[in-house]
Amino acid sequence: VGNGSVELEAIGKPMFLARNGRLFVEGEVADCIYRVTTGVLRICKLFPDGRRQVDTFAMEGDFLGIEASQRRGFTAEAVTPVTVVAFPRKDLERLIDNSPGVARRLLGIALAQLSDTHDRLMLLGRKTAEERLSSFLLEMLERTGNGKAIRLSMSRADIADYLGLTIETVSRTFSAMKQDGILALPSAQQVVIQDRGSLEMMSGED
Amino acid sequence: VGNGSVELEAIGKPMFLARNGRLFVEGEVADCIYRVTTGVLRICKLFPDGRRQVDTFAMEGDFLGIEASQRRGFTAEAVTPVTVVAFPRKDLERLIDNSPGVARRLLGIALAQLSDTHDRLMLLGRKTAEERLSSFLLEMLERTGNGKAIRLSMSRADIADYLGLTIETVSRTFSAMKQDGILALPSAQQVVIQDRGSLEMMSGED
DNA sequence: CGAAACCTTGAGCATGTTCAAAAATCGTGG
DNA sequence: CCACGATTTTTGAACATGCTCAAGGTTTCG
């Protein structure tokens, strides 16, 4: 077909992972890349003193574990029960050299991840707590929402470490938005967006 | 040769840029990628309200302008007078399909940038001002230093926007490090590292 | 039903920001 | 070469945003 889909799928191996299970850990040899079939993972880095940064949440259809070096630069943990397809690096390298479609596709995936990560630099470097949470909710709305409601599969701690905030600030910002009628919180995991316009204004995007 | 070097160089066109000149601007059509021959550029994003995030400094040998989309996601400005080699996207795409070496190399470049950017997420999301400046100085020492001294070609404002701080905090942190005998500042642009060990301790890297 | 984990709220605090001004540096022209 | 203005950097003082510490409430799950 040219885009390498058929060749790629042929080398994939399905895998399961329980909640909080680890797909890979920082420092390990990176022998696979993965695509998420179902569930959500957090990709994160840890400080020796316990500080944590969640780089991204990998969700249905997302690729993860593509690395520059031979070793893992971060850890991947299951936020929910997870199913992934694993593509062994060895097979992949062979495909890259034989099928320009696969190389292009991988490059495209890497560049899309690079673009997303750059947006997050702006968020972490220059946005306020309110802007960060607004951006996060809009991102989740886009990725998983039905337009109005979001089911957050990750904890407040995960969100805090994703946004460079504390659990308390995340919680307080949620409460403030609820107070202002921007959203409703039927439960801690369920968010109903009531005023998307305000959320977009508050997200600080141009 | 297989790594695509010869093919790649053949399509490159040299270009010059004066101090503060713009190589490309956010929103423009992305028709080229570039490699820096001499000088330093800042790759940054701007908010409508003037807030700025410097994503990276591109220096000798670095590639920049590789984008997922057809449009520029950021702006590239010359911090010093700059010489680059421009590789037209059209020619590049052709090379990718014909030479697996070029595809591999581009993928490698993109993945290296992704890895660097992920380290910066940790810096912006979780590090203190002192840790940020220490990390920055160590990075500069590695990229341009002779082991002890660094010549900073960028302003305090550029450094602040790179580290997600204000000019004042950057300046104050420099002063504190000078006070503590970690470094000397013969001029604002010249930094002499006097205690690399402490700097590494303070950078918060594991 | 009870324990554990998670989430929310409150009060005081700290880091880094803002606003302001002084000091140093740089470029330019007399 | 020095004087001048412009720009950049440094320093100071007050302030604010988000953090820490602490307690109470809620959900989850065995």
pLDDT tens-digit profile of A179-190?
999 999 999 999
The yes-or-no verdict on residue B201 having pLDDT over 90 is: yes
B111 and A67 within 8 Å at the Cβ level: the answer is yes
Q: Which residues touch strand D (CB under 7 A)?
A: A 128-130, 164-166, 168-169, 187-189; B 155-157, 167-168, 170-172, 174-175, 185, 188-189
Annotate A23-69 with DSSP letters as a single string: EE-TTSB--EEEEEEES-EEEEEE-TTS-EEEEEEE-TT-EE---SS
The yes-or-no verdict on residue B3 having pLDDT over 70 is: no
DSSP annotation of A112:
H
pLDDT band at B13 (very low <50, low <70, confident <90, very high): very high
Contacts of B21 (CB under 8 A, 6+ apart): B77, B78, B82
Give the other-Cβ count within 10 Å of A171's Cβ: 15
**Which nucleotide comes closest to B155 if you measure CA to C1'?**
D8
pLDDT at A81: 96
Give the other-Cβ count within 10 Å of B69's Cβ: 11
pLDDT at A23: 97
B204 contacts in chain A (CB < 8 Å) = 47
The yes-or-no verdict on residue B159 having pLDDT over 90 is: yes
pLDDT band at A2 (very low <50, low <70, confident <90, very high): very low
Mean pLDDT of all residues in A49-78? 96
For residue B99, the distance in angstroms to the closest alpha carbon of chain A comes to: 8
Q: Please tell me which of the candidates B47, B103, B125 has its beta carbon nearest to residue A104.
A: B103
The yes-or-no verdict on residue B1 having pLDDT over 50 is: no
Residue linked to tokens 């302003």: B155
The angle formed by the CA atoms of residues A114, A170 and A192, to the nearest 5 degrees, is: 90
How far apart are the C-alpha atoms of B11 and B33, rounded to whole Å? 11
Contacts of B104 (CB under 8 A, 6+ apart): A96, A97, A103, B3, B4
Residue A29 CA: distances (Å) to CA of A33, A67, A73, A113, B56: 11, 10, 10, 21, 28
B119: left (phi over 0), alpha (psi -120 to 50) or beta: alpha
% of chain B at pLDDT higher than 70: 98
Paired strand residues for B54: B44
A120 and B121 within 8 Å at the Cβ level: the answer is yes
**Which nucleotide comes closest to B187 if you measure CA to C1'?**
C25
Mean pLDDT of all residues in B174-196? 97
pLDDT at A8: 80
- For residue A98, give the amino acid letter: N
A69 and B121 within 8 Å at the Cβ level: the answer is no
Residue linked to tokens 């970690």: B182
From chain A residues 36-65, the ones with a CB under 8 A of any chain B CB are: 45, 47-48, 51-53, 55
pLDDT at B72: 98
The angle formed by the CA atoms of residues A86, A87 and A89, to the nearest 5 degrees, is: 130
Radius of gyration of chain A (CA): 18
Q: Please tell me which of the candidates B74, B114, B161 has its beta carbon nearest to residue A110.
A: B114
The yes-or-no verdict on residue B190 having pLDDT over 80 is: yes
